[in-house]
Structure 1
Amino acid sequence: MPRLELNPNFTDPDAFYAALAAAHRECGDEQSERINARLILLLANHIGDQQVLEEALEIAAQAAAPEARRRHG
């Protein structure tokens, strides 16, 4: 059964980060959110495995929880 890859798996993570930053450059918050949402859906479609996607969601939500508590606590 497939598992989410948590070890570094990028050929060039710095190049991807630069491309991601460039895609958001000169965008307002709303446009950046649309870019992120579309990117998430494209990558989810590429992954295609519901179990892997749910595992990624769980890990992302856990990472975001302390940040939300700091802002609202």
Structure 2
Amino acid sequence: MTALNLNPNIPDPDGFYAELLDAHEGLTDDESAAFNARLILILANHIGERAVLSEALRTAKGART
């Protein structure tokens, strides 16, 4: 089992963030939420390790502001 990696791990994080914002450009709030849901499911499928996904859910839920 692979542990959830919470360390910076994305090459060019600012470029990725800009690309993510661009992907939301012109979407309504509902379309943006649906896009996020599809993206999460695509990335969860790519990760594929149920324990890692569960840890990510717990971590995200605990990170509420």
The separation in 2 between residues aligned to 1:44 and 1:38, in whole angstroms, is 10
TM-score by length of 2: 0.95
Looking at structure 2, the residues matched to 61 and 6 of structure 1 have their Cα atoms a distance apart, in angstroms, of 14
> Residue in 2 aligned with 1:27?
27
Unpaired segments of 5 or more residues in structure 2?
none
Residue 38, structure 1, aligned to residue 41, structure 2 = no
Residue in 2 that maps onto 1:55: 55
TM-score by length of 1: 0.85
1:36 shift after superposition: 0.1
Residue 54 of structure 1 deviates from its aligned partner by: 0.3
Which of 1 and 2 has greater Rg?
A: 1
Q: CA RMSD in A?
A: 0.7
In structure 1, runs of 5+ residues without a counterpart are 68-73
Greater helix fraction, Structure 1 or Structure 2: 1
% identity of equivalent residues: 55
Q: How many residues align?
A: 65
